[in-house]
A and B are shown apart, each in its own frame.
Chain A
């Protein structure tokens, strides 16, 4: 039997590290094959070899049973290999159809035949159930739709082997379900799919087989029906995984955060938080569930003093902090793990040590009368690196060169160490692998046990359900319901998040 893709004994070395060490990947015709591993395990390197972006040092590639030499992405396209990148490569001002045909435009008498382009895109879209409007501009459509445009781009170029690079990282739960349906449809129409992922749930929902790699090495390949999530997770991490569950008793203390009648505008001066009320107590984790874009970001930015409050008030520990400077709010006891860790959480070109004191550098003991005490900072950094198990060569290493998980650990270490009364964690585990997720969840629970108030915002329902003591559902800038995680499930939450209010569910 021939494979759609067979990569034999691939080795790829970079200065200092072996990214792929004797990896073999066999993808059968018409299957969804998961390439499973932690961040930095070598998944992307392997796929870049397949797509012609890297040349392997050793090993061979076979496409539909024939030996192939792939020197660049054009070769890959010619062989019918298409890649749906994690970061979309689309031109915002162009329409869907224009983006899809870019580089391979249908022509009539040497002129661009836009009518034909629209027709082709429409046909492809219908055939695979993608439901895309070819005439809309990219800037006007949702992220989920943009991803479908990326899929269409590969289909338009005649790909029959599609690589999806962590496609669900940017999607909402509903969009993920739709994407899975689309992938199944593609396979039914004769395509083969390689799904790069580190999320177990996706694998069990849609994949046929799975190849696990760890630290650049091939661990195992198996049919999904013959394995289970626990085994697969251990295989990926290389040790037993403990799922962190918020099992500490729920004993709410005094009110720490009180948001009342809050209204906030976004950049376009549209009101995105509307008369919102929310209270978080010490000793509890309050999870905010909601579809992206329902005011979560603006709510926490308003709490942190990064966005002007139009109406209403915000109190931390009884102190009115409405429209105060961020520094004052931080000093009043706010810890904040921002959603975009690279843009907002770290100064990437600062060392790990310098990042550890990003809010406290001007205070004792890190400074005295305006002068930094670098020795104290270094000592603190070393202590936190050890305490929070940040994998970095030293505290002098630039934050930029750390992996996503370790960058997040730096932020968590910094915020938790300041011992804030209120800790806001926005998407704290987005894009992280199981090991790092486990660690960060553990830290959040620890904070709760210490009697701190934790406000958790996440688009991952699992995360919300696992960690929260109470779940507040946000919809169009309002908290439309507060539910007890023990008395609810994903379906009910999903309905609430879509704005359908259920009677009697209030807790």
Chain B
């Protein structure tokens, strides 16, 4: 872990930090213009997250799928692939875990729970494997195919729920308690939040990504192919196979994220008419987190905190919760303009020397 911290280049760390600050500042300006008090707004966010156990618990709860989605995007990115299909992989994983829990509801907890979690991961893997295969064999660009896979997931899950797992309220039945990640203990600890054991899965996933990429020969290969497919090929690596593997592993992370929602937060899956948005936020989380495991945790915490704290911002400062989405968008915008920030910092420091 110490080594992990050392790897970070302080200059590159500057971009996300400054982006966050600029995003929050711009958000404040917008609030001022509309006539709200930004200090009160931000104060209520910070106070709720850190002082009210319920919101602390909800923040961590919201982090779980965000971090897993972020890891999925970051992992593919390390191999030079842009996985926009995290959303679809997540939905596939969500349904698979819920379906598994319901269908095999008679099994004991020690088998059913891990089986349902794995089912989620496997469905995500399949949803990542297909675009990987298409890219490796037919050179179909993964951005196109993963977007399409998102729609297939959206409507296929709706179809399956409606025809095979339907219950009142446009959703699946609730999963049996034996497959549930929910915990009365954690709920009590956080004054009734929906915090569940899934955070352990997320932590394992964070460590797993770091371990796979930097400690295994496969990870070495994946990173090499990501940086330079040409040099990797010259060195005798199988570039196609690595593309498939990368998207599959990425899909596992995303599928697990869905399983956490299905087995933990909600205990069922509704018929979605639109995307959950978690997968797309995962892109932002990965981007802000510089595609590193630790960075994904930090940026996941930030986004989860903003989303959860945004609710209290509305009740305490009267600021509409939609403003949080604007702030998140602004942060992403500034991260995207990272080059400009680096350039500006370069200018400033050079001026400072003179």
For A328, list chain B residues within 8 Å (CB).
236
Cβ of B220 and Cβ of A345 under 8 Å apart? no
**A304 to B235 Cα, complex, angstroms:** 10
A388 within 8 A of B: no
Cβ of A372 and Cβ of B215 under 8 Å apart? yes
A306 within 8 A of B: yes
The residue among B216, B228, B235, B238 with the most chain A CB atoms within 10 A of its own CB is B235
Closest to B3 in A: A374
Cβ of A326 and Cβ of B218 under 8 Å apart? no
Question: Of residues 222 to 250 in B, which have CB atoms within 8 Å of A's CB atoms?
Answer: 223-224, 227-228, 230-238
For A142, list chain B residues within 8 Å (CB).
none
Cβ of B224 and Cβ of A345 under 8 Å apart? no
**A328 to B237 Cα, complex, angstroms:** 10
B217 within 8 A of A: yes
For A304, list chain B residues within 8 Å (CB).
234
Question: Can you name 7 extra interface pairs (CB under 8 A) apart from A326-B234, A331-B236, A372-B214?
Answer: A304-B234, A326-B233, A330-B235, A343-B230, A347-B227, A362-B217, A372-B220
Which residues does A use to contact B, with CB under 8 Å? 304, 306, 325-331, 336, 338, 343-350, 354, 358-359, 361-362, 367, 370-372, 374
**A371 to B235 Cα, complex, angstroms:** 19
Instruction: Kindly provide the distance from the CB of B347 to the nearest chain A CB, expressed in whole angstroms.
Output: 13
- What is the total of A-B residue contacts with beta carbons within 8 Å? 68
**A343 to B237 Cα, complex, angstroms:** 15
Cβ of A347 and Cβ of B224 under 8 Å apart? yes
For B220, list chain A residues within 8 Å (CB).
354, 361-362, 372
Cβ of B234 and Cβ of A345 under 8 Å apart? yes
Closest to B218 in A: A370
The residue among A325, A361, A367 with the most chain B CB atoms within 10 A of its own CB is A361
Closest to A362 in B: B217
**A345 to B233 Cα, complex, angstroms:** 10
Closest to A326 in B: B236
Cβ of B236 and Cβ of A359 under 8 Å apart? yes
Instruction: Kindly provide the distance from the CB of A505 to the nearest chain B CB, expressed in whole angstroms.
Output: 35
**A349 to B223 Cα, complex, angstroms:** 9
**A325 to B217 Cα, complex, angstroms:** 19
For B215, list chain A residues within 8 Å (CB).
371-372, 374
The residue among A346, A347, A370, A371 with the most chain B CB atoms within 10 A of its own CB is A347
**A346 to B214 Cα, complex, angstroms:** 18
**A327 to B241 Cα, complex, angstroms:** 14
Instruction: Kindly provide the distance from the CB of A297 to the nearest chain B CB, expressed in whole angstroms.
Output: 13
Instruction: Kindly provide the distance from the CB of B1 to the nearest chain A CB, expressed in whole angstroms.
Output: 15
- Given known A347-B228, A348-B227, A348-B228, contact A306–B234 (CB-CB < 8 A): yes
**A439 to B224 Cα, complex, angstroms:** 28
Instruction: Kindly provide the distance from the CB of A333 to the nearest chain B CB, expressed in whole angstroms.
Output: 13
Instruction: Kindly provide the distance from the CB of A173 to the nearest chain B CB, expressed in whole angstroms.
Output: 27
Cβ of A350 and Cβ of B224 under 8 Å apart? yes
For B218, list chain A residues within 8 Å (CB).
370
For B235, list chain A residues within 8 Å (CB).
326, 330, 358-359
Cβ of B231 and Cβ of A371 under 8 Å apart? no
Q: What string of 1s and 0s marks CB contacts (under 8 Å) between B264-289 and chain A? A: 00000000000000000000000000
Instruction: Kindly provide the distance from the CB of B11 to the nearest chain A CB, expressed in whole angstroms.
Output: 12
**A110 to B234 Cα, complex, angstroms:** 53
The residue among B215, B218, B228, B230 with the most chain A CB atoms within 10 A of its own CB is B228
Instruction: Kindly provide the distance from the CB of A30 to the nearest chain B CB, expressed in whole angstroms.
Output: 39
Cβ of B234 and Cβ of A347 under 8 Å apart? no
Per CB-CB distance, the 7 closest pairs between chain A and chain B, nearest first, are A327-B236, A326-B236, A358-B235, A349-B227, A362-B217, A344-B234, A347-B228
